[in-house]
Amino acid sequence: MEKACIDINELVNVFSNTHGSIYQSDKLNCFYVDFGGKFARFNCLSLQKLKKVVEEIDIEALLLNTHKADFELVTFNGCEHIYLLSALEIIALKDLLQGTFTMFKLNHLISDCLYRLVY
């Protein structure tokens, strides 16, 4: 999906690091992952699946295996997006996804505290 097709003013930056960003679209009820030169759209469940797949990659085994390159194909069943990532890119994507889900939890905690103060 091209960035030109999306009104960037309607997207909320959930989390960013030096390698990418994840945006939320309340209007379209989805998330956009801007990483590795790709701007991909995910629904909530797909973003959770992506996080699970990336977290299951064993970076140490990938780096220590001398019989294959230190690249990993990242995708999951039902996903139309494929990432071919080096070990360093996998670490950066893990950081991006962990930061994003931390922001989701933080937002939930703040909302819960504010709700308790009001009622």
Instruction: Please give the model's pTM, rounded to 2 decimal places.
Output: 0.85
What is the reported pLDDT for 5? 64
| Confidence band for 3, pLDDT divided at 50, 70 and 90 | low
Mean pLDDT over 99-114 rounds to 87
**Phi, psi torsion values for 77, nearest 5 degrees:** -60, 125
On whether the CB atoms of residues 21 and 3 are closer than 8 A, the answer is no
User: Is 2.30.31 the CATH number for 8-117?
Assistant: yes
- The answer to whether the CB of 23 falls within 8 A of the CB of 31 is yes
Contacts of 46 (CB under 8 A, 6+ apart): 76, 78, 79
Q: Which alpha helices (DSSP H) does 1-119 contain, by range?
A: 44-55, 59-64, 87-118
Token duo for residue 83: 């990432």
